[in-house]
């Protein structure tokens, strides 16, 4: 059983598409936990009608704050932290659990639009996505059918595209993280802790902490990416849209305020740096 945790603030057309793909292509039983950050377009009601557990946050809280509240509500041992602007691949869940078992991984991500198997592949993928997305998003906005059109233009037949990718990469993994989706066994929480609510880039913080734990305690492997399982991430779907400031913004710090730049390692931090903890900042 899976516990899928997703934070939202409006974007009803995207929320509809996200859930449709999740329902169509997820093979295993799951619960969907929605953290609603003050939606005013009916998104909270839509998810409730579809059987999701909807938790009202009372504000517009940061990504890590929402993930930790989702952990508190989750009933199962596989925790999945998904952005609401993701479209999952056919059979993604059975494949990713098989990959985690094969490689003895407790935390993993699927490849996504903005994080592929190599820097070159990522750049090419992002370039194609910008060509598809930007004009359509500028002229037609985030309407449901426009989102579907963008996805179709990007991949053609989604099921065939994903099948061909899995045939190419299979269960190959590489160290790294795609922040739009993080899949974690509950056992990892005992080793690396929960999300650091002081850092919006908490996915990279998680990757750094897991890497350090693997090097010091040796009881967990670093975060890896599954190259053969790919999610479409709409990436900056909120273009031209202004959100309310985070309710917990006063408590937030930058990633480089917690971690000092160190040895170069593009797998761990968005700046392409491996990092070491600052002495004056405690690890979460």
pLDDT tens per residue across span 77-126: 999 999 999 999 999 999 999 999 999 999 999 999 999 999 899 999 99
Task: Name the pLDDT band for 280 (thresholds 50, 70, 90).
Answer: very low
Average pLDDT, the chain: 90
Q: Average pLDDT of 268-284? A: 48
pLDDT band at 257 (very low <50, low <70, confident <90, very high): confident
> How do beta strands 107-112 and 181-185 pair?
antiparallel
> Model confidence at 247, in pLDDT bands (50, 70, 90)?
confident
Query: Hey, where are the domains in the chain?
Result: 2-123+157-277
Q: What is the DSSP letter of 248?
A: T
Q: Which pLDDT belongs to residue 58?
A: 92
- The reported pLDDT for the residue numbered 19 is 98
Instruction: Please say whether the dihedral angle defined by the alpha carbons of residues 250, 61, 58 and 5, taken in this order, is positive or negative.
Output: negative
For the cut 90, the answer to whether the pLDDT of residue 270 exceeds it is: no
Mean pLDDT across 263-282: 48
248 — pLDDT class (breaks 50, 70, 90)? confident
| Yes or no: domain 2-123+157-277 corresponds to CATH 3.90.550.10 | yes
Measured CA to CA in angstroms, residue 196 lies from 62, 63, 167, 189 at distances of 11, 10, 37, 12
Per-residue model confidence (pLDDT) at position 245: 82
DSSP code of residue 251: G
Tokens of 117: 């198997």
Does 262 score more than 80 pLDDT?
no
Work out the number of other CB atoms within 10 angstroms of the CB of residue 121: 13
Q: Is the pLDDT of residue 255 over 50?
A: yes
What backbone torsions phi and psi does residue 282 show, to the nearest 5 degrees?
Answer: -75, 150
The pLDDT > 70 percentage for the chain reads 89
Can you say whether the dihedral through the CA atoms of 185, 189, 190, 192 is positive or negative?
positive
Residue 144 in tokens? 């449901």
- Please, is 52 exposed, middle or buried when counting C-beta atoms within 10 Å of its C-beta (0-12, 13-18, 19+)? buried
The model's pLDDT over 148-185, given as tens digits with 9 standing for 90+, comes to: 999 999 999 999 999 999 999 999 999 999 999 999 99
pLDDT of residue 277: 64
What does the pLDDT look like over 19-72, one tens digit per residue?
999 999 999 999 999 999 999 999 999 999 999 999 999 999 999 999 999 999
Residue 281's pLDDT band (cuts 50, 70, 90): very low
């Amino acid at each position: 059983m899976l516990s899928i945790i997703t934070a939202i603030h409006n974007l009803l057309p995207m929320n509809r598409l996200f859930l449709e793909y999740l329902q169509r292509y997820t093979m295993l039983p799951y619960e969907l936990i929605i953290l609603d950050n003050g939606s005013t377009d009916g998104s909270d009601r839509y998810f409730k009608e579809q059987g999701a557990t909807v938790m009202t946050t009372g504000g517009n809280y940061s990504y890590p704050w929402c993930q930790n509240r989702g952990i508190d509500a989750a009933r199962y041992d596989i925790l999945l932290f998904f952005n609401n602007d993701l479209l999952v691949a056919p059979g993604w869940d059975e494949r990713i659990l098989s990959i985690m078992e094969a490689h003895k991984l407790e935390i993993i991500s699927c490849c996504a639009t903005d994080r592929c198997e190599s820097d070159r592949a990522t750049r090419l993928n992002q370039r194609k996505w910008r060509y598809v997305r930007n004009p359509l998003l500028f002229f037609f906005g985030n309407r449901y059918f426009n989102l579907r059109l963008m996805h179709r233009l990007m991949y053609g037949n989604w099921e065939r595209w994903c099948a061909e990718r899995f045939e190419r990469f299979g269960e190959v993994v590489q160290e790294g993280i795609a922040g739009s989706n993080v899949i974690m066994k509950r056992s990892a929480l005992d080793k690396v802790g929960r999300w650091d609510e002081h850092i919006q880039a908490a996915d990279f913080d998680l990757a750094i902490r897991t890497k350090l734990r693997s090097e010091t305690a040796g009881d967990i492997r670093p975060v890896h990416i599954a190259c053969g399982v790919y999610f479409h991430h709409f990436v900056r779907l909120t273009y031209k849209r202004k959100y309310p400031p985070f309710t917990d913004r006063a408590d937030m710090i930058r990633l480089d305020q917690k971690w000092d730049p160190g040895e170069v390692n593009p797998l761990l931090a968005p700046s392409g740096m491996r990092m070491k903890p600052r002495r004056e900042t405690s690890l979460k």
